[in-house]
Structure 1
Amino acid sequence: MPNMSLLKQTGLRWLWLAALIFIADVAIKLVVMDTMGYGWANRIEVLPFFNLLYVHNYGAAFSFLGDQGGWQRWLFTGIAIAVCGMLMFWMRKLPQTEKWNNIAYSLIIGGALGNVFDRIVHGFVVDYLDFFVGTYHWPAFNLADSAICIGAGMVILDGFISGKRDSANSTEK
Structure 2
Amino acid sequence: MKPKPNALNWLLLSAVVIVLDQLSKWWALTALQPAGVPHPVIPGFLNWTLAFNTGAAFSFLADSAGWQRWFFVVLAVVISGVLVGWLARTARGDWKTALPLGLIVGGALGNLIDRLHAAQVTDFIQVYYREWSYPVFNLADCGITVGAVMLVVFGLFAGKAKA
Tell me if both proteins adopt one fold, taking TM over 0.5 as the criterion.
yes
Task: Give the counterpart of 1:74 among 64, 70, 80.
Answer: 70
* Aligned residue identity for 1:32: A
Q: Does 1:11 align with 2:10?
A: no
Q: 1:116 and 2:117 equivalent?
A: no
Query: Per-residue deviation at 1:9?
Result: 1.9
Q: After TM superposition, give the deviation of residue 95 of structure 1 in Å.
A: 1.3
Q: Percent identity?
A: 35
Which residue identity does 1:10 align to in structure 2? N
How far apart are 1:38 and its partner, in Å?
A: 2.9
1:107 is matched by which residue type in structure 2?
A: L
TM-score, L = length of structure 2: 0.94
Specify which structure has the higher proportion of helix.
1
Task: Give the count of matched residue pairs.
Answer: 161
Q: Which residue of 1 aligns with 2:17?
A: 21
Matching of residue 45 in structure 1 with residue 9 in structure 2: no
Amino acid at match of 1:17: L
Q: What RMSD in Å do the two structures reach over aligned CA positions? A: 1.5
Matches within 5 A, 1:98-137: 98-137=94-133
Give the counterpart letter for 1:104 in structure 2.
Answer: P
Q: CA deviation at 1:162?
A: 2.0
2:150 aligned with 1:154: yes
Alignment partners' CA distance in 1, 2:98 and 2:12: 11
Structure 1, unaligned stretches of length 5 or more?
A: 169-173
With structure 1 as the length reference, what TM-score do the two structures score?
0.89
Deviation at 1:163, TM superposition (A): 2.6
Separation (CA, whole Å) in 2 of partners of 1:118 and 1:12: 24
Alignment partners' CA distance in 2, 1:165 and 1:78: 37
Structure 2 regions of 5+ residues with no counterpart? none
Q: Once superposed, which parts of structure 1, at least 4 consecutive aligned residues long, lie more than 3 Å away?
A: none
The 1-side partners of 2:138 and 2:26 are apart by 12
Q: Are the equivalent residues in 2 in contact too, given 1:53–1:129 (CA < 8 A)?
A: yes
